[in-house]
Amino acid sequence: MPDTKKFIENLSGAGKCIGVLTSGGDAQGMNAAVRAVVRMGIYVGAKVYFIHEGYQGMVDGGDNIKEASWESVSSMLQVGGTVIGSARCKDFRTHEGRLRAALNLVQRGITNLCVIGGDGSLTGANLFREEWSGLLDELVQSGEISEEASQIYSALHIVGMVGSIDNDFCGTDMTIGTDSALHRIIEVVDAIMTTAQSHQRTFVLEVMGRHCGYLALVSALACGADWVLIPEMPPKDGWEEQMCYKLSESRMRGSRLNIIIVAEGATDRHGNPISSNAVKELVVRCLGFDTRVTVLGHVQRGGTPSAFDRILASRMGVEAVLALLEASPGTPACVVSLCGNQAVRVPLMECVQMTQEVQKAMDEKRFEEAVRLRGRSFENNLNTYKLLSHRKIDSELPHSSFNVAVLNVGAPAAGMNAAVRSAVRVGITEGHTMFAVSDGFEGFYKGQIKEIKWGDVGGWTGQGGSLLGTKRTLPAKHIDKIAEQMRIHNINALLVIGGFEAFESLLQLVDARSRYEEFCVPMCMLPATISNNVSGTDLSIGADTSLNAIVETCDRIKQSASGTKRRVFIIETMGGYCGYLATVGGLAAGADAAYIYEEPFDIRELQSNVEHLTEKMKTSIQRGLVLRNENCSENYTTDFIYQLYNEEGKGVFDCRKNVLGHMQQGGAPSPFDRNFGTKIAAKAMQWISKKLKEFYREGRVFANTEDSACLLGMRRRALVFQPVVQLKDETDFVHRIPKEQWWLRLRPLMKILAKYKTSYDVSDSGQLEHIVRLRAKDVSAI
């Protein structure tokens, strides 16, 4: 079979001109996308132009369209909003305006456009593309361009990236800016919770989302809000009484606060708006609770982009340039987006039509259809929220007589508590009795096992670390005592939340099944480790929070280095032997190099990095950032690299070092980790319920098949249950890492954006997918 791999070296942008613009409402991460387009464009030999002030700048021309240089996008990565400006443009909506825009582009030879904006901006770009040849004919007739120019520039290629905090665009799981907006909302909710608790208050929070309830829904899921109102799924008639009953019931159970989240576009079933003030008045009138309203407004658009948005935007920006290089005159305008964890290209107009269909379904009061059209991610968020927030009365619950134990194993990771809360509540809803084990397997063999109820896990989503307590102890040493505790408490299933130790623990328990029948029960593991080093999953609970901690520190360090000039910082990150944090953190922070164990390096590479930084100091960017994974090399330690750089850089730059340490493990979980933990724990409990029924024979549970002990992980686009025994072959147990790791494909990207020549396999890119097929295929995704 011929080798079908495609490499970046074979794609040339020589002679091509790319224009990049941001349009419509701003979103955090737009600058990271602009930076990636500019640097990738220059890297492949193309000329790249900034088009300032969106379409207005394209229509006005002149200084609004300027050639970009490598240095001109330096220090943009950590800045919110859009540095090149954005404007709503009436002129571009007219034929005359588009004619002027076409002239301005042809005069500079720009026939490739990268548009970063919402559905309105992208629809405008597509119309422009469809009219292009007609506009050029008009310009030839009026004598403003030559016939020859119209031949040379006959085709306009357009690639879109969706920058919108609302996440209201169909065909993409996450739009640029959504994760950062969630960060702003959750920061506010966390702050409000402490004051609400002090005064026993109810808070009504209004978040953005005129036509899309994504921000409201996900922030409600991430903070465990009591009630949420979104445009896609208006509450049923009589919701007022239901909501007030829910609020008073939670107070009776001992809760000191209530949180209600309202999307600004929320309505009832009859299309009447539901405002945050109306909700407040309702609560005061019916319950007499002390109630306050907080309208978040433009705070949600502001601030620095999160690590997720920087990585998303950088990956999309590079993908957009590849799509433009590969476009032929017949290629339809496409949108580059993320599906699960994979970059995809989807036809722009299919996405726009689907987005418009959602609005149409809402207008026609076909609400279930609207939710389905929003996509799998939205639908799953809504189902998980419903599952967790509405406690059934005990008489309504099925009674299963099964006992399920949940425990944390290994080092703490932010998001573990959200996973435990979700598992406990879903388990109770499924009719099981839930048991919490303190301090991992150490607590297990000592008998630190007690029943955990619905109310016991209230307010857990926003707590960092592990409230159950966690230890690295493996079960093998105390296997007989653990079996005895399983027997004493009649445990019928296990949910283990943790990192590499949790994976090893499950393997040991499966191995012990032949000797102890007590372990012949369904077992599921959820990966939770900041190192992201467990086989069978692309992402682990806790890694996103850790990345944000790294990126925040790197931003501050870069700022300090910019002030002093000619300074290079060497930063050591955690991760054991796994280079995920160093690599992805490096990509998000704009590092010059990241040393990891998976990619061996020698003194020659260190020397070339020093030379590269020496060259960099001659430009206007007089600072450097180098990340080093803690175990990347036995001999090239952080001190060694620091001393080497110091010595070799004498007279050109000076060096500082920083070991980030355990700050990477602490802190409140990020919105992503709260949601990821919540959703996978809910899915795991449903799987456990199914397996308990499947393996229940003659009055007892007996499960000893491979598929009754699984790890639930995210693989590319879907959540998959994989037998732990089958994952053994994929694992390097000596270094505690998977043998194959997807994020290694991002390393060339980091190097390209730091101006290194490198080989980059782009075989994964380039498949234009249709949006309908994309949804049908990915039913089991997040």
* Residue 21: its H or E element: strand 17-22
Position 107: which residue type? Q
Cα–Cα distance for residue pair 726/731, rounded to 1 Å: 10
CB 428 within 8 A of CB 422: no
Catalytic, out of 26, 60, 119, 166? 166
Helix, coil or strand: residue 391: coil
- Name beta bridge partners: 437: 449
Cα–Cα distance for residue pair 338/717, rounded to 1 Å: 9
Cα–Cα distance for residue pair 130/581, rounded to 1 Å: 44
Q: Provide CB contacts within 8 A for 291, sequence distance 6+.
A: 201, 202, 203, 204, 280, 283, 284
Q: Measured between alpha carbons, how far apart are the two ends of the chain, in Å?
A: 35
Cα–Cα distance for residue pair 405/456, rounded to 1 Å: 15
CB 102 within 8 A of CB 88: no
Among 436, 572, 569, 577, residue whose Cα is nearest residue 495: 436
Cα angle: 313, vertex 315, 321; to 5 degrees: 100
Q: How many CB atoms lie within 10 A of CB 657?
A: 18
- Name beta bridge partners: 497: 408, 526
Among 469, 455, 492, residue whose Cα is nearest residue 416: 469
Cα–Cα distance for residue pair 404/428, rounded to 1 Å: 10
Cα–Cα distance for residue pair 512/510, rounded to 1 Å: 5
**Is there a catalytic annotation at residue 544?**
no
Rounded to 5 degrees, φ, ψ at 560 are -65, -40
Cα–Cα distance for residue pair 304/236, rounded to 1 Å: 38
- Name beta bridge partners: 112: 18, 157
CB 169 within 8 A of CB 212: no
Q: Provide CB contacts within 8 A for 307, sequence distance 6+.
A: 544, 547, 548, 550, 551, 584, 585, 588
CB 548 within 8 A of CB 670: yes
Among 405, 402, 453, 449, residue whose Cα is nearest residue 425: 453
- Name beta bridge partners: 345: 336, 768
CB 427 within 8 A of CB 377: no
Question: In this structure, what token pair is assigned to residue 158?
Answer: 């357009």
Question: In this structure, what token pair is assigned to residue 370?
Answer: 């609207």
Cα–Cα distance for residue pair 663/102, rounded to 1 Å: 52
Query: Mind giving me the DSSP string for 690-721?
Result: HHHHHTEETTEE---SGGGEEEEEEETTEEEE
CB 705 within 8 A of CB 714: no
Question: CA torsion angle for 457, 463, 464, 466 (degrees, to 10)?
Answer: -20
Q: How far is CA 184 from CA 175, 263, 293, in A?
A: 16, 15, 17
Cα–Cα distance for residue pair 405/397, rounded to 1 Å: 19
Alpha helices, DSSP H, located in 142-177 = 147-152
Alpha helices, DSSP H, located in 44-79 = 54-60
- Name beta bridge partners: 648: none
Question: In this structure, what token pair is assigned to residue 7?
Answer: 């490499």
Place of tokens 């050029």: 136
Cα–Cα distance for residue pair 678/467, rounded to 1 Å: 15
As annotated, the active-site residues are 166
